[in-house]
Amino acid sequence: MIAFRTLLYKEALRFWKVAFQTVGAPVLTSVMYLMIFSQVLADRVKVYDTVRYTDFLIPGLVMMSVLQNAFSNSSSSLIQSKITGNIVFVLLPPISYREFYGAYVIASIMRGIVVGLGVWIASLPFAQVGVTHPLWALAFALLGGAMLGTLGIIAGIWADKFDQLAAFQNFMIMPLTMLSGVFYSIHSLPPFWQGVSHLNPFFFMIDGFRYGFFGVSDVSPWLSLGVVAVALVVFAIVCLEMLRRGYKLRH
Amino acid sequence: MRSGDDGPAIRVQGAVKQYGSLQALAGVDLEIAQGEFFGLLGPNGAGKTTLISALAGLTRLSAGRIAVMGQDVVDDYREARRMLGVVPQELVFDPFFTVREVLRIQSGYFGVKNNEPWISELLENLDLTSKADANMRTLSGGMKRRVLVAQALVHKPPVIVLDEPTAGVDVELRQTLWKFIQKLNAAGHTIVLTTHYLEEAEALCTRIAMLKAGRVIALDTTANILRHVSSHALKVRIAESITLPDALREKLVRDEAGELSFSFERYDDVETLLATLRAAGAILQDVEITKPDLEQAFIGMMSKA
Ligand SMILES: Nc1ncnc2c1ncn2[C@@H]1O[C@H](COP(=O)(O)OP(=O)(O)O)[C@@H](O)[C@H]1O
Ligand SMILES: [Mg+2]
């Protein structure tokens, strides 16, 4: 238990010490998205009858920040430790693979939530969106953060070089988040692309999270919850198995 | 140092490690007793680091098993790792933290709470007190090395393994380090050391294993290795080359431009050697007696194996 807590503390301290880059920078990016898209699209995009576009956009951006930063935290921590070699400091002690997984995932969720909160606070001058069902919003933030934290561990362990990790991020994580309905409701898409979106677990995370804010969503929040939970379990099993075997960590 | 248990500190049985077609360990058997100061020697690529990695659970063996203080490093990895402190060969560090933070965190990984008194003692003994709150990035190579030693010791492991700890460390620093490690050894900790500096192994280790191409080619007390491989040598310089009588020829170990070295076992033999040389017509210009050293032993064994 002490080992787990210490590893969690170390992972949290790691991003907090460089919060300017790990929290400040992503908050600024999201605020830029918010300013530009809400200015340009507010009068053109119609999503739900009862929700203004700027309001619609904010939960999406918050959740996108949660997801991307959760991924970023575990993946960059692991690849840095692997490349600099200081990964031995966590491989030598009697830390079980479950503790290892738990600590990296929870630290990732923490970073995701901190950045998400930052984005939400920074959005207040633009629009004050209320949270209709806070528990739904929280559940999706936690599960989504956990899933991306898990993917981050998988990617961080798999990648041998920074550019492999960047490829994972640019060709998997970015497209999946961009095509998840952050900037639009998928009902405004042609049927084919609506179908494609339903194969994207990120869509359900964003949609479910948004339900927490407005009480309206593209699909039932229970369906979203189910999809996200199943996806998380699948990735967690893959990740835990990699860690148990010591894949790429213990030759 | 669990009381009532005097099994070996480290037991390696049939350790094989295969990297593709390369056999980094080709069947190593080794037992290191509790309280020993043990040297693991061998040229680059002999498999020393691989053996240590397997011991520490950083690498998994292709075959064979290893136990630390009776705990299997795979099946009982938690107990085994708690017994073990490893100073890695590579000079690694975490650039996010200060020296003290690093040591607190490492203590936590081993489940040790409130470790401040021991951390302070480590810093003191390793001459790091003034750097306690400095970021790891700002330290010199030698200081980073000492932090690595401190990190390996936060949980007071009964078995301490140092993989070339003095590579690239200046002389003064080496002295500090060895004084401390010897103190730990005197307090009952088992020490395993790999080094390139043979005089270090000679001065510190009570027993030595020599590794070559993944095999143990010699395993004995330091004294025995020195005795067996190279006895004392008598070095003479003679004016003109002569034909050596057979009795001398078989004792000749080196012949370099008029400088001849003969091995001998007892000092009484020196008289006979010199007399035989004179009788053969040699004019002696210089005579010197050299003591055996590990370097000779090492070279001798490596060329034979
Ligand atoms: N991860 C690895 N992959 C492939 N070969 C390796 C790996 N680690 C070590 N080796 C090889 O195993 C052999 C033993 O290496 P090592 O244990 O580092 O030797 P030493 O520490 O005695 O210098 C060397 O030939 C080395 O190239
Ligand atoms: Mg080595």
CB contact under 8 A, A92 and B58: yes
CB of B58 within 8 Å of a chain A CB? The answer is yes
The 10s digit of each residue's pLDDT in B124-149 is 999 999 999 999 999 998 899 999 99
Give pLDDT, residue B305.
63
Among A82, A160, A249, A251, which is best to mutate for testing ligand 1, by the most ligand atoms less than 8 A from CB?
A251
Chain A residues closer than 8 Å to B113 by CB: 2
Verify whether ligand 1 is closer than 6 Å to residue A251 (CB atom).
yes
- A188 versus A191: which is more confidently predicted? A191
Dihedral of the alpha carbons of B256, B257, B258, B261, in degrees to the nearest 10: 0
Mean of pLDDT values over B221-233: 74
Half-sphere exposure at residue A235, Cβ-oriented, CA atoms within 13 angstroms: 23
Report the pLDDT value the prediction gives residue B200, as an integer from 0 to 100.
84
pLDDT at B183: 95
Tell which wins on pLDDT, B240 or B72. Answer: B72
Ligand 1 close to Cβ of residue B53 (< 6 A): no
A16 to chain B, closest Cα gap in Å: 10
Contact list in A for residue B78 (CB cut-off 8 A) is 94, 96
**What is the mean predicted confidence (pLDDT) over A176-192?**
84
Residue B158 has pLDDT above 70, yes or no: yes
Give the percent of chain A with pLDDT over 90: 73
Report CA A84 to chain centroid distance, whole Å.
26
Tens of pLDDT, residue by residue over B54-113, are 999 999 999 999 999 999 999 999 999 999 999 999 999 999 999 999 999 999 999 999
Q: How far is A135 from chain B (nearest CA, A)?
A: 34
What share of chain A has pLDDT > 70, as a percent? 98
CB contact under 8 A, B108 and A96: no
Name the band, by pLDDT with cuts 50, 70 and 90, for residue A46. Answer: low
Q: Is the pLDDT of residue B296 over 50?
A: yes
Distance from CA of A61 to the nearest CA of B (A): 29
pLDDT value at residue B3: 43
Residue B1: is its pLDDT beyond 50?
A: no
The pLDDT score that the predictor gives to residue A246 is 92
Segment (H or E) for B122: helix B116-125
Which is more confidently placed, B59 or A43? B59
pLDDT tens column, A207-244: 999 999 999 988 999 999 999 999 999 999 999 999 99
Burial class from Cβ neighbours inside 10 Å (0-12, 13-18, 19+) for residue B182 reads middle
Answer yes or no: is pLDDT of A198 > 80. yes
Q: Which of B110, B120, B104 has its CA nearest to residue B85?
A: B110
What's the complex ipTM? 0.91
CA B181 to chain centre: 13
User: What average pLDDT does chain A have?
Assistant: 92
The pTM (predicted TM-score) of the whole model is: 0.87
For residues B264-281, average pLDDT? 85
Instruction: Give the Cβ contact number of residue A128 at 10 Å.
Output: 9
Ligand 2 centre to CA of B121 (Å) is 29
Q: Do residue B53 and residue A251 have CB atoms under 8 angstroms apart? A: yes
β-pair type (B10-19, B37-41): unpaired
Query: In the beta sheet, which residues pair with residue B237?
Result: B259, B286
Which runs of consecutive H residues, i.e. helices, occur in A46-189? 53-84, 88-91, 97-123, 134-158, 162-168, 174-178
Would you state the pLDDT for residue A130?
Answer: 85
Helix axis angle, B141-153 relative to B171-186, nearest 10°?
A: 10
**pLDDT tens-digit profile of B3-38?**
446 789 999 999 999 999 999 999 999 999 999 999
CB-based contact A94 B110, cutoff 8 Å: yes
Indicate the residue of B81, B93, B95 with minimum beta-carbon distance to A94: B81
Three-point CA angle A158, A162, A166, nearest 5°? 85
Residue having the nearest C-alpha atom to atom 6 of ligand 1: B19
Checking if the pLDDT of B2 tops 50, the result is: no
d(CA B47, CA B34): 23
Reported as a single tens digit per residue, the pLDDT across B168-197 is 777 888 888 899 999 999 999 999 999 877
- In the block, which residue shows the tokens 């043979």? B198
The pick from B18, B25, B44, B49 for probing ligand 1's pocket by mutation, whose C-beta has the most ligand atoms within 8 angstroms, reads B49
Q: What is the mean pLDDT of residues A117-134?
A: 91
Residue A72 has a pLDDT of 95
The band of A16, judged by pLDDT with boundaries at 50, 70 and 90, is: very high
- Cβ of B106 below 6 Å from ligand 1: no
